[in-house]
């Protein structure tokens, strides 16, 4: 208990005694101009960029209609726009040296950092704080600002304690315990990647593996080859597959990869829509959700990066083909809607964070197809 209190005190000291540090710089106005020449390069004018037109349209729409100078993107239903926007905008901005993109990425992370500070002043867990928190790691990965790394690592440690003590509070955000185990494990492996000392890296890896073990003991269904769920079918499977691939990459133990492939085969048999494309299961077999299919594409891209097997890249491309089909994508409004229902068709609302996740998946796909570019 003393160790936990000491850790919390250290975090609060950083947050309260150094309010002027770069971590908490306040919201600034959006970039005053949008350089057309740079944008053409940025939005992938080359003919071999897969999903080029959709990418250009969606990104232009998000920046034009959803940007807020606070960094809190409009229309962010799940609270993860700060994460996926910063991942994409840092990557694109650094590729092309486009300062407008980099500025928006900084502002997105700054908004998330303001939520972190607010939490330690008024400790209420909420969706925007939880879902966007990994944005702090992205700031460090793209800029090298060590304060972000330190606060992210401290938050992962604190989060592990809080989730262990009151898992129900966090399950309310992600709906199923296996989803909580998978996402927490994935964050632990990310923390292990950016930790600097060997002992710290090992500690985070052990935490990640422990969450996988919890899911195996409490959620694994050998008969179905899936993790148990009560509200949403696809999230427990996709988030656990993300964690399993991360565990394989961190340890080299093929057992984690094998378990991931069992789940993938089960999803393929149960949820794959062979007529229209994509995967059913968000929340059940009557609906295909953007977030669930985004995460499936993410898993397939992770598998390609871990194994270099082209089949996973092709399957990720197939998922993205469905996402930007008319089932979800409006090519006049340049927006991807929330889900497709087999009775009601396309939803009439969208989530900014999910649209950014699709764009980042497309970016990752093209990076894999053209690694030298």
Would you state the pLDDT for residue 373?
A: 66
Cis peptide before 127 (omega within 30 of 0): no
Residues 6+ apart with CB under 8 A from 248: 254, 256, 257, 260, 306
CA dist., res. 188 & res. 204, Å (int): 5
The domain limits of the chain are 272-373
pLDDT for 129-141, tens place per residue? 889 999 999 999 9
User: C-alpha dihedral over 43, 58, 126, 9, to 10 degrees?
Assistant: 0
Residues 104 and 33: beta-carbon distance below 8 Å: no
Other beta carbons less than 10 A from residue 33's beta carbon: 7
Q: How far apart are the first and last CA of the chain?
A: 51
Q: What is the mean pLDDT of residues 290-316?
A: 98
For the four alpha carbons of 358, 360, 363 and 367, in that order, the dihedral sign comes to negative
pLDDT higher than threshold 60 for residue 26? no
Residues 298 and 305: beta-carbon distance below 8 Å: no
CA atoms within 13 A on the CB side of 214: 20
For the four alpha carbons of 48, 60, 128 and 150, in that order, the dihedral sign comes to positive
Rounded to the nearest angstrom, the gap between the alpha carbon of residue 329 and the centroid of all alpha carbons in its chain is 20
Whole-model pTM: value is: 0.90
Q: Burial letters for 200-212: b for 16+ Cβ neighbours within 10 Å, e otherwise?
A: ebebbbebbbebb
pLDDT higher than threshold 80 for residue 8? no
CA distances to 99, 135, 145, 278, 285 from 70, in Å: 17, 15, 20, 35, 38
Would you state the pLDDT for residue 44?
A: 53
Would you state the pLDDT for residue 6?
A: 46
Residue 40: pLDDT band by 50, 70, 90 thresholds? Answer: low
pLDDT higher than threshold 70 for residue 69? yes
Would you state the pLDDT for residue 12?
A: 42
CA dist., res. 248 & res. 199, Å (int): 19
CA dist., res. 214 & res. 172, Å (int): 18
Would you state the pLDDT for residue 46?
A: 61
Nearest Cα neighbor of 145 from 192, 109, 174 is: 109
CA dist., res. 217 & res. 238, Å (int): 18
Phi, psi of 8 (to 5 degrees): -60, -40
Considering the chain, what percentage of its residues have pLDDT values greater than 90? 78
pLDDT higher than threshold 60 for residue 200? yes
Residue 14: pLDDT band by 50, 70, 90 thresholds? Answer: very low
Would you state the pLDDT for residue 270?
A: 98
Phi, psi of 51 (to 5 degrees): 65, 35
Nearest Cα neighbor of 267 from 285, 248, 254 is: 285
Would you state the pLDDT for residue 117?
A: 86
- If you write DSSP's letter for every residue of 173-222 in order, what string do you get? HHSSHHHHHHHHHHHHHHHHHH--SHHHHHHHHHHHHHHHHHHHHHHEET
């Amino acid at each position: 208990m003393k160790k936990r209190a000491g850790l919390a005190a250290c975090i609060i000291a950083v947050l309260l005694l150094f309010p002027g540090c770069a971590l908490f710089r306040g919201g600034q106005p959006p970039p005053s101009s949008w350089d057309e020449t740079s944008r053409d390069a940025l939005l992938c004018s080359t003919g071999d960029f897969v999903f080029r037109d959709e990418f250009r349209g969606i990104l232009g729409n998000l920046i034009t209609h959803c940007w807020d100078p606070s960094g809190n993107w409009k229309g962010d239903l799940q609270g993860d726009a700060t994460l996926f926007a910063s991942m994409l905008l840092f990557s694109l901005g650094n590729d092309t040296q486009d300062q407008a993109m980099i500025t928006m990425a900084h502002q997105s992370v700054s908004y998330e950092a303001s939520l972190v500070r607010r939490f330690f002043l008024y400790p209420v867990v909420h969706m925007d704080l939880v879902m966007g928190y990994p944005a702090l790691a992205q700031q460090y990965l793209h800029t090298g600002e060590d304060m972000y790394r330190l606060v992210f690592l401290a938050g992962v440690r604190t989060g592990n304690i809080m989730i262990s003590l009151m898992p129900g509070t966090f399950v309310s955000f992600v709906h199923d315990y296996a989803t909580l185990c998978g996402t927490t494990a994935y964050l632990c492996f990310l923390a292990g990647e950016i930790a600097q000392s060997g002992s710290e890296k090992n500690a985070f890896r052990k935490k990640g593996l422990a969450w996988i073990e919890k899911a195996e003991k409490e959620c694994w269904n050998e008969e179905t080859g899936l993790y148990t769920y009560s509200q949403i079918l696809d999230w427990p499977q996709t988030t656990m597959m993300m964690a399993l691939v991360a565990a394989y990459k961190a340890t080299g133990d093929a057992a984690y990869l094998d378990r991931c492939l069992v789940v993938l085969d089960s999803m393929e048999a149960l949820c794959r829509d062979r007529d229209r494309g994509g995967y059913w299961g968000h929340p059940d077999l009557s609906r295909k959700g953007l977030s669930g299919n985004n995460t499936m594409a993410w898993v397939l891209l992770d598998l390609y990066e871990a194994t270099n097997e082209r089949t996973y890249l092709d399957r990720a491309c197939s998922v993205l083909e469905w996402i930007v089909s008319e089932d979800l994508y409006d090519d006049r409004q340049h927006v991807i809607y929330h889900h497709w229902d087999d009775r009601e068709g396309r939803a009439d609302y969208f989530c900014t964070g999910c649209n950014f996740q699709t764009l980042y998946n497309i970016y990752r796909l093209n990076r894999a197809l053209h690694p030298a570019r």
